[in-house]
Amino acid sequence: MARKFFVGGNFKMNGTIESVKSIVKNLNDAKLDSNVDVVIAPPALYLLLVREHLKPGLEVAAQNVFDKPNGAYTGEISVSQLKDSNINWTILGHSERRTILGESDEVVASKTKVATEGGIGVIWCCGESLEERESGKTISVIEKQLAAVSAKIGDWSKVVIAYEPIWAIGTGKVATVQQAQEVHASIRSWLKANVSEDVAKQTRILYGGSVNGKNCKELAKEEDIDGFLVGGASLKPEFVDIINAN
């Protein structure tokens, strides 16, 4: 069975009530490919605003979730609170949270376990720095990240993997189509060898490094690229073109 194309939009710490409403209206009014799963991740403050205005069939993701059910964890959001708000996805392990906020592979894995077991879909991010790529460590870095999450979860059905070369996020640099496909194929091979052949076949692997309206169609043609996790371009009208790239 073919893997369904998946496009996520990560607004990061951007937007106002007015601009977020405008993005939602643009998506609601657009003719979107019905064979694509679309999930957008506004800042936490606007999650309910988006969910209330976004048309049915399009999903909403938090940009993070905590790995405790509730309690004295100032500033955090729980899985049950997302579920209560009809927010069915979260992004975890984004490079900005790993590098700027110091989240380790183990912390990301713990959050992924709690989210998936609580019924939330996870866009789980992995990727390497420019220094790691230039020293030939890309695959070993990603395999270490995969191993950490694999040790914590048993059910991969709620996980979508997003490969994000850190050196290509927000820099305008983009991995070549061949570089992206090579890493995606390596991730799928790792899943086959270390999890199962079925998980390797069924898990969607997204590319997330400066995807835009110009490069999305070429990337979408690759065998192991099953969609995109889009940053800056998800705030622009071209996001519709990216959703319809497949």
139/142 Cα distance (integer angstroms): 5
Active site residue 128: no
Which of 59, 128, 164, 184 is catalytic? The answer is 164
Which of 94, 96, 128, 132 is catalytic? The answer is 94
Question: Which residues, in sequence order, are bridge partners of residue 194?
Answer: none
Nearest to 83 by CA among 97, 65, 71: 65
Active site residue 132: no
Specify the 3-state DSSP secondary structure of 205: strand
Q: Which two tokens stand for residue 133?
A: 């790529």
161 in Cβ contact with 204 (< 8 Å): yes
68/117 Cα distance (integer angstroms): 12
Q: Which residues contact 73 (CB under 8 A, 6 or more apart)?
A: 66
59/47 Cα distance (integer angstroms): 11
Specify the 3-state DSSP secondary structure of 32: coil
In the block, which residue shows the tokens 């070429």? 218
In the block, which residue shows the tokens 């049950």? 80
Catalytic residues: 94, 164
